[in-house]
Structures are given as C-alpha cells and as structure tokens.
Structure 1
Amino acid sequence: MDFKPFLEGLQSDLKKARTDIPNIVKRVNYSIRQCHYVLSIFKKAVLANEFESIEKEIEFFKNVKTIPATLLIYNSQIRSFESEFPKANIETQRKFIKKRLNRINRFYRNHHDFIEYIESGRTHFDEQYFTRKYLNVFPLGSPHFYFHDPDFSTPKDILLSEYKAFDSFVGYLQNRMIDRSKVYVDKPGELTSKINLQWTASKSALIELVYALHYNRVVNNGNAGIKDIALAFQQILHFDLGDFYKTFNEIKSRKISRTKFLDDLASGLQSHMESTEE
C-alpha cells in the first residue's frame, strides 16, 4: 500500500483547519478525528498484508505510522491542556503551564536512553524496537495507549511518536506562557490593545525569515538567538514552528532556491514599487 497520499492529505487537511477553524478546541477535535481515520486505514492495510521484509516493517512503524500518531498525540495534549487551563489570573495560568512543562521534562528523564538512541541516529536496536515480533519481550515504552493494538504496535513506536509530539507541544506551551492576544500594561489607564495576527504562509517561509534576521544581525544588534527570534514570531503570529532546526537543514538541501520566500518577498515589493510609480 502506498501510504504517502494519505499522509499528504492529512497534513493538508490539518494545515487548512488552522485557518478554517479558529476555535482551538474545535480544531484539535477535528484534527484528532482525522488522525484516527488515517491510522485506521493504515491498520487495516497492515493487518491485511504481510510486510515484504523486516526493513519494510521497521520503516513503517518508525517513519510512517509515527506521522499521524505524533499529530494525534500532539492534538490530544492540546485538548487536555485547553480543557483544564485555568481562567483565573495570569500567575495561576503560568503555574499551570510550568507544571505541564515539568511533566514533559520528567518524560524526557524517564526515557533518556531511548531519546539518545533516536537523536544519535543509531539503528542497531530498530528490529527490537520497531517490529511486532518483540512485543512480548520488550515492555511497551509508553503507558498512554493513544492507538494501541498488539497487531498494530511495536515496543517503541508509540513512545517515539510521544517524544516527537512533546517536542512540538513544548513550543505550544511556551507560546501560551504569555498570551500574546492581549498586551497587558502596568499603569492604570494605559491603552490595552489586542493583537490578532496569524501567519498564513508556510512554516519553511517563516523559518527563512527567522534565520535571515538572525544572521543579518538586525535584532538586538545581533545578540538575539535564533530560538529567541523564532519564539517571538510564534507568539506574535500564533504559529507553531516545530523543529525549526530540522526544517532549516531541509531548506539548505534544496536544489533550486534555498531562499525562495525571501526572493519572493523582494520581488513582490519591487513589483509594487514599480506599479505605484507608473
């Protein structure tokens, strides 16, 4: 079975939902349903057909199933967070967010060896971690059965999805640390304004801009780090950049234009200037 069209369709649906469904709870509920739907299709295909080889099974459970599973867990975490998020004062909200961050840090500590295995790019345990025949040998890596079925799970595929989801969820929590939809002031009587800006171009486009600002040293006289600039854009534009270091490496590997968005920006501005001079 060719899984690629389903993955591309899912990612397109969720991207469209970010603009079509402004309510965060409704959006994540929709996203969760779409992820479950794709996973159910994958499950039927896997149960109906044998993998051609161990390598094919590893590839599926390590790199294919983990895409919708990661999105499912990420959106499930957001739904849980938003449903319990306190409506009281800002300090209470910040404490609540910090507790969630501490919970994720515990997850990282508890699974340090596995995370190091993944991040280092090692593969010598892949057969034990990402094939079903070792399910009775290795304990399940995660106690959360987001989509658990012994015929459709390996010892570590859900744990890997959880790790990837938490990596993105940390960024979400950092954005919520300060609600940028409102600008709070210390002095009574000062203007309280609302900012409602949403980035609607691609993630790689915004990352091009972040790196361009950093390496041209135009923020804080060049003393602002890439992460600081990225976080600021995430907060102001209500957009999750995810693993922007990884995306930047993908941008660098482009064969045509590695600065496509910046080139388009310059071209668009130039065209506007020329049209207004006529």
Structure 2
Amino acid sequence: MKYSLQNIILEIHNKEDKISLQNKRLIDEAYEMTLYLQDLLLSVKKDIIDEGFKNDVDEIHFFRTIKPQLLGKLIYYNKLYRIETSCPVDTGKMYYNYFTTQFANLKREYSEHICNSEFYRYYRSGRTDRDHIYFKRGNLNYHDGLNSIVFEIDPSFSTFFDYKLARIISNELLYTFLLTKINPDENPDTILQRSESTKDVFWTDSKNALIELVYALYASGAISHGKIGIRKISLMFQILFNIPIGDLHHAFHRMKTRGGSRTAFLDQLKTSLEEYMDKEL
C-alpha cells in the first residue's frame, strides 16, 4: 500500500516541527496547518480514487488507521483556529470564562454523541470483528438513523465511520488543549512575567527541542530528586525563556513515533558538548 500510518504521521510531524521553529502565533500555526492538512488530504484522496486498494485488508487498514489520523488532525487545527480567532481577550476573567465554555461544550458533545455510542465502545475496546462493516466503503446501514453528515461525504473516499473516528481523535486533542487554557497549572501564558535581568534570555531552537529536554530532565529525576512533576519543570522553562510550549503530552507522543532518532535534540547536545570539549584540549 502506498500510504502507511508511520509515513503519514511522520509527514505531519515534520510540518508541525517546521512551523514550530518559526515561533509563530498559535492562530497562525493553526491556520497554516489547516491549509497544509487540507491539501494533503486532497492529494491522498486523489491517489486512492485513482489507484484503489489491492484488497480488503488494505482498504480496512486505510479507513481505520490512516485517514482518521489525517482527518482528525485537520478537524483539530481548524477548530483550534476558530476557537482562537473568536477569543474575546488575551487574559483575565473573560478569557478564562471563554475557554471554560469551550471545554464544557466539548464535554457535552462527547457525552451526547460519542461515549455512549456502540461504535465508540467498539473502538475503545480494540475490537476488530466488525472492521469489515465499519471500514469498508458501501456498507452503511441507514436503518441505524445515522448522522446527517453521512449524506455529505464522498462515498468513494469514506465509510462514514472513518469520519466518526477522526472526530474522536480531534476531540481528544482539543480536550488536552482546552485543559491547558483553563487550568492555571497547565497554562503558563498568564504568568510569563520576567525580570529585566532575564529579558534578553530566550529560546532559539524549536519548541519540540525544549520539550525533549524537559522530558529528559523529568525522566532522569535530575530536578528535586525526581519529586517534581513534568508540568512544573515545563513551567520553569516557559517562564525562563518566555515561550509557551503548548500541548506538552501530545508533542511527546509525536516524538515517540517520529522517524530516525527519537532523541534528536539530546543527541545534538551530546555531539556539540564533545566538540566543544575537543576544542578546549
């Protein structure tokens, strides 16, 4: 099969890393990722429609594991852009109330349309016995009273349930994002205040590089004998360098699945230090 889950995830992660190096506003990052993912999805769609699948196994694999990851990220970034562009202020009570409302809306959608559905329980249980029904095209049962979105999808590039799975993935990403907005311990944006003596200190590598360093310090127990949480370590660096890291856990999970070295920044630190030591000899 032309497309694999690892390649799609790697391609998306590479784009996210490239954008993070530019230190853009979250609004700009979300907008750029939305355009990129939309183009990528259209490109994948064209290939699938033109070339088809070799067998049922490939088709099921694509609609269960590959397309939902791509579409889920697209839905997430588009929603992120809409949320950020509708935010009334940057800080304060209105800011907190706005994101609290968004969080409540997400939880209500989850309760009403996702968690109690048969499909959600099937997906969460890790079952595969009905994959040939859920993730093969042309198997929709209209007697189930499906959501009206089913009439708007392209039947040549969707089983409808791949869309439902993409919504689950996007909601999980949004949940983490909104949690960082309404929980002061998770959101350093409102307390990134620095003294005059540290205003010329700033991070010049990617956000992912900083996250890699934060997790390394946490995993090694090098700070406070390992009794300090990952969020507090992250917060210290964010305040020091005046840079919001954002979705810490999601970025870490991206690192675990990226191609090549999973500790690229730490590897580079080791190399740079050894080169510096050699110069001092």
TM-score tier (shorter): 0.7 to 0.9
Correspondent of 2:276 among 266, 272, 278: 272
TM-aligned CA distance change 1:228 to 1:61, over 3 Å: farther
Between the two structures, name the one with larger relative contact order (CA 8 Å, sep ≥ 6).
2
In structure 2, the partner of 1:217 is 221
In structure 2, the partner of 1:200 is 206
TM-aligned CA distance change 1:169 to 1:117, over 3 Å: same
Shift of 1:169: 2.4
Q: How does 1:84-163 map to 2 (within 5 A)?
A: 84-87=86-89, 89-110=91-112, 111-112=114-115, 114-137=119-142, 138=144, 140=146, 148-163=153-168
Shift of 1:231: 7.2
Q: What is the identity, as a one-letter code, of the residue corresponding to 2:89? A: K
CA distance in 2, matches of 1:244, 1:21: 15
Q: How does 1:147-186 map to 2 (within 5 A)?
A: 148-177=153-182, 178=187, 180=189, 183=192
**Does 1:262 find its partner at 2:266?**
yes
TM-aligned CA distance change 1:224 to 1:91, over 3 Å: same
Shift of 1:69: 0.8
Q: What is the identity, as a one-letter code, of the residue corresponding to 1:106? A: R
1:182·1:193 contact (CA, 8 Å) conserved in 2? no
CA-atom RMSD, angstroms? 4.0
TM-aligned CA distance change 1:52 to 1:89, over 3 Å: closer
2:238·2:244 contact (CA, 8 Å) conserved in 1? yes
Give me the TM-score of the superposition, normalised by structure 2. 0.73
SS at match of 2:127: coil
CA distance in 2, matches of 1:75, 1:65: 15
Shift of 1:99: 1.7
CA distance in 2, matches of 1:80, 1:123: 35
Shift of 1:79: 0.9
1:139·1:155 contact (CA, 8 Å) conserved in 2? no
Correspondent of 1:74 among 73, 76, 81: 76
Greater Cα shift, 176-185 or 130-139: 176-185
For residues 109-133 of structure 1, give each alpha carbon's deviation from its aligned partner in whole angstroms, at most 9, with x where no partner exists: 3422544533442212222222222
TM-aligned CA distance change 1:221 to 1:199, over 3 Å: same
TM-aligned CA distance change 1:144 to 1:207, over 3 Å: farther
1:175·1:231 contact (CA, 8 Å) conserved in 2? no
2:21·2:205 contact (CA, 8 Å) conserved in 1? no
SS at match of 2:189: coil
Greater Cα shift, 26-35 or 113-122: 113-122
CA distance in 2, matches of 1:220, 1:244: 24
Q: What is the identity, as a one-letter code, of the residue corresponding to 1:238? A: I
2:212·2:263 contact (CA, 8 Å) conserved in 1? yes
Aligned-pair identity (%): 26
SS at match of 1:3: coil
Q: What is the identity, as a one-letter code, of the residue corresponding to 1:17? A: I
1:197·1:237 contact (CA, 8 Å) conserved in 2? no
CA distance in 1, matches of 2:210, 2:78: 26
